[in-house]
Structure 1
Amino acid sequence: MATRADDLIERHRLRRKLTFWRVAALAVAGFGIAAAAYALGDDGFRGRAVDHIAKIKIEGTITEDEKLIERLEDIRKANHVKGVILSIDSPGGTTVGGEAIYEQVRKLARDKPVAAQVGTLAASAGYMIATATDHIVARQSSIIGSIGVLIQFPNFTNMMEKLGITLDEVKSSPLKAEPSPFNPTTEPERAMLRSMILDSYDWFVGLVEERRPLSRAEVTAIADGSVFTGRQALQRKLVDSLGGEEKAIDWLGTKGVDTKLEVVEWKPEKSSGGFFFSQALSNRIAQALGLPSGSLDVLHELGAERLFLDGLLSVWHPERAAIRG
């Protein structure tokens, strides 16, 4: 019996030793993977571990981008980030989306110096976000401005008439769920929309007045939806200097940031599952429309998603005249 008891005790000891070494092996493997990611990573992971200037890109149509806002907050909290450059290339988007990002950039700018460097364009909500920084740099041929707000909605009434389709509805008041794409727009409906547009426009103008060295009258004079080259924008005090990223770095230097620090782009985290799902879905939709695979990606690059934006918009439409309240 004693021998059997000794055997059981020895087995327990061996199991504990084996468990210890398994855990140790997993820890070493995990450390090795982390070290490899640090050494080989191409997403800026390695650069974030040392003092640097953070760069974040704001491109394409602007919407309520929670991931972007989270990245801006992470940058604000990161001790190794000594300065920030927003690289902006956007025609604008939803007014609410621009407002949310604007507020987050202002929060960031209270803790770290932030400059904007405009590429091809910063229009409407794109320019709104640029004004949230404390210094705006643009290329001489960049497109700047389009300060204003609009709302767009389709009108299917002619098509319905041709197809012999009518819409019956019962509602609590005439303006409920209006304007509707299924009814002609009435003057009271347009007056309601005009009131909303002018209120948001007044708010947008106020932001520019607050953030730029301009009086209310000066902002109003240029806030008619017009766009300007970088050179013209500099004359109108919509930007602070002309040039590229190096000019933004020079300005950060005036705020105590070491201009020799590496500029590290904080990229969005990759989500392979969502990407492949959306890619497959896009291809299915393209096939259903009789288009080759990848066609919807091309439409996205061309900014066609702007056709489906909902709510008040601050977006530049170069292909048509601006709708103003």
Structure 2
Amino acid sequence: MSLEPDHLLDRQHLTRSLTLWRVVAVFALIALLATLSGGGEKIRKGKSVARLTVEGILVEDLEREAALADLADDPDTVALIVHINSPGGTVVGGESLYHAIRTAAERLPVAVVMGEVAASAGYMVALAGDRIFAHQGSITGSIGVIWQTADITGLLTKLGITTEAIKSGPLKAVPSPLEPVTPEVRKATRDLVLDIYDLFVDMVSDRRHLSRSKVEQLADGRVFTGRQALKVRLVDEIGGEDAARMWLFHMHDVDSSLPILELKTDARDKLWRSLVSIMAEKTFFPERVTLDGLISLWHPEGAEGIQ
């Protein structure tokens, strides 16, 4: 059945109108949610304790660092509690967050509370606290740095595939899975890893008041339970947020009845990006992230955790 020209024009007009209203509705919703998400943090009055939650794989987060910088200048914030549940991530991700927390600690007492895991770069972040609390079953430690690569040249040869790289020097873009690891490449990579390892060991020695030789005994990549970490002085106390609040009260006179406010980054920007991605039908990767650079990460091969 064919449609008359007038009917076709009416249908096209209706389709355009519906599309327009849908677009208007979506952007109105975005504006409303952005307003709601950004307005709550500005109207609070009175003293409070800030809580920063650090979860998942650590990468550099400039918004989070900016929020911590603002916190250090907020006269209404009297203390900071950092909750960590992270197996680590990039070295820069851990190092930058460590320094941001230490900047806040110049004015505020900082208590760190470990969750299920605070290992590798996650433990590096924990070092920023003035006192570290862990549950008995928390997994921590894994002090070390790793750079992994694979050599697939043998497989490619069997498949009849050859690769060629034209570069300015033998150490450019190595190690690479497309090239065998030469002794020169292995030495350069190992030197790089050990340099960052020395940085990590120095941070532990300084913040935990342990000799370097003692830290080196602990920094062989192994993990510790919270109970084990307490015995070797990698943490200060067994407990959670309640224990942290008691410490803040007894040592820094921070009233235990003060409200705790979650420290948030720019929620409006994150909300905008998420909604735009949804509208554009982009793929989300909430649990997967590409890690560039040196990695300080604890994740047992083929294991999702300890049960």
Q: CA deviation at 1:320?
A: 6.6
Mapping of residues 92-103 of structure 1, within 5 Å: 92-103=88-99
Give the 3 Å change call, closer, same or farther, for CA 155–273 of structure 1 in structure 2: farther
Match of 1:181 in 2: 177
The 2-side partners of 1:161 and 1:70 are apart by 50
Match of 2:291 in 1: 309
Give the 3 Å change call, closer, same or farther, for CA 93–179 of structure 1 in structure 2: same
Match of 1:263 in 2: 260
Q: Which moved more, 1:263-272 or 1:41-50?
A: 41-50
Give the 3 Å change call, closer, same or farther, for CA 121–150 of structure 1 in structure 2: same
Contact residue 64 and residue 264 of structure 2 kept, 8 A? no
Mapping of residues 5-20 of structure 1, within 5 Å: none
The 2-side partners of 1:219 and 1:44 are apart by 44
Mapping of residues 100-179 of structure 1, within 5 Å: 100-179=96-175
Structure 2: give runs of 5+ residues left out of the alignment: 1-31
Alignment partner of 2:89: what SS?
strand
Q: Deviations over 1:212-264 (max 9, x none)?
A: 03211211111111111111111111111111101111111111222221111
The 2-side partners of 1:280 and 1:195 are apart by 46
Match of 1:272 in 2: 271
Alignment partner of 2:116: what SS?
strand
Match of 1:58 in 2: 54
Q: How many residues align?
A: 267
Q: Deviations over 1:47-75 (max 9, x none)?
A: 84321000011110001111110111111
Q: CA deviation at 1:284?
A: 5.3
Q: Deviations over 1:263-290 (max 9, x none)?
A: 1111233232211344567x655xxxxx
Write the letter of the residue equivalent to 1:273: W
Match of 2:241 in 1: 245
Match of 1:75 in 2: 71
Q: Does 1:236 align with 2:229?
A: no
The 2-side partners of 1:49 and 1:93 are apart by 36
TM-score (norm 1): 0.76
The 1-side partners of 2:221 and 2:190 are apart by 16
Write the letter of the residue equivalent to 1:316: W
Query: Percent identity, aligned pairs only?
Result: 43
The 2-side partners of 1:230 and 1:280 are apart by 44
Write the letter of the residue equivalent to 1:102: Y
Alignment partner of 1:85: what SS?
strand
Contact residue 123 and residue 315 of structure 1 kept, 8 A? yes
Alignment partner of 1:151: what SS?
coil
Alignment partner of 1:49: what SS?
coil
Structure 1: give runs of 5+ residues left out of the alignment: 1-32, 286-293
Q: CA deviation at 1:79?
A: 0.9
> More helix by proportion, 1 or 2?
1
Which of the two has higher C-alpha Rg?
1
RMSD of Structure 2 on Structure 1 (CA): 2.4
